[in-house]
Amino acid sequence: MGVILNKVGAIFIAVSDIKAARDWYCSILNLEPKYDILAGHLCCIPLDNNGLNIVLDSKIYREDTYARTPMFHFNTHDIHEAFQFMKGKGVEIVTDIEHGHSFNIKDPDGNMLMICQLL
């Protein structure tokens, strides 16, 4: 098994109003709007039983920030091992491990990607 799993864990969607967006997405997905707002700007809504989520984020809504924000993340079982793996590959690492479970990298074209540990 690889350090970086070949599976997308979440798709990020920039929203202007996190609570209204949560309610709207839940209503069109036929879900109860029971999902917590995290850090005042994030809401994770599960799409399936395999760990795929949409992550609504009102912090990335501004256009100047949005272009520098990952639109999805790859999963890993061990964030520290994944961080060392990426360093060893010479990948451009944009952030240190944040909140103990994620970090951002750039691909060769400058696209921002995130690696996130399964919780």
Amino acid at 81: E
pLDDT band at 15 (very low <50, low <70, confident <90, very high): confident
Which residue range(s) make up the domain with 59? Answer: 4-117
State pTM to two decimals. Answer: 0.69
Q: Output 110-115 pairs: Cβ under 8 A, ≥24 positions apart.
A: 112/68, 112/69, 112/70, 112/71, 113/70, 113/72, 113/73, 113/74, 114/70, 114/72, 114/73, 114/74, 115/4, 115/73, 115/74, 115/75, 115/76, 115/79, 115/82, 115/83, 115/86
Residue 105: name the closest of 62, 66, 78, 72 by CA.
72
| Torsion sign, CA atoms 116, 6, 113, 80 | positive
119 in Cβ contact with 78 (< 8 Å): no
CATH code of residue 71: 3.10.180.10
Span 18-54, pLDDT tens digits: 999 999 889 888 898 899 999 999 999 998 877 889 9
Q: Within 13 Å of residue 16, how many CA atoms lie on the same side as its CB?
A: 1
How many structural domains compose the chain?
1
